[in-house]
Amino acid sequence: MLPPSGARPRGPQLQDWRWELDLVGRSADHRQVRVHLDAEGHPGYVTTARMIAELALMIADGSGSGRTGCITPALAAGVDATERFARAGMRFSLPDDR
């Protein structure tokens, strides 16, 4: 019923993806922020691997936030990571009216 062990998407099944995600967050004082992500590549195989690789490179070359310890990827990357992620096929934006 399920694919055999080791089965995975290949070629166009990995690369011919374009997807979007809209996130809405709300603070304790009820302020709301919206974030839009537009990305290329399979979300589970390609985009996730690109994001992990970019974060690792940022930590290694010192261009991340400089924060250390047990922190989230967003805290490790810092606010200036959006251009780097865009070059890797992931574009974040703060839409006005999505």
Question: What digits encode the pLDDT tens for the residues 52-98?
Answer: 899 889 888 888 888 888 888 778 887 778 888 998 899 999 887 54
Please report, rounded to a whole number, the percentage of residues in the chain having pLDDT higher than 70.
98
What token pair was written down for 40? 């290329």
Cβ atoms 96, 46 nearer than 8 A: no
At residue 82, φ and ψ (nearest 5 deg) are -60, -40
Each as own residue / partner, the long-range contacts of residues 72-76 (CB below 8 Å, 24 or more positions apart, any chain) are none
Q: What is the pLDDT of residue 36?
A: 94
Q: What is the pLDDT of residue 98?
A: 45
Answering whether pTM is above 0.85, one says no
Cβ atoms 26, 32 nearer than 8 A: yes
- Please report where in the chains the tokens 């019923």 appear, as a residue: 1
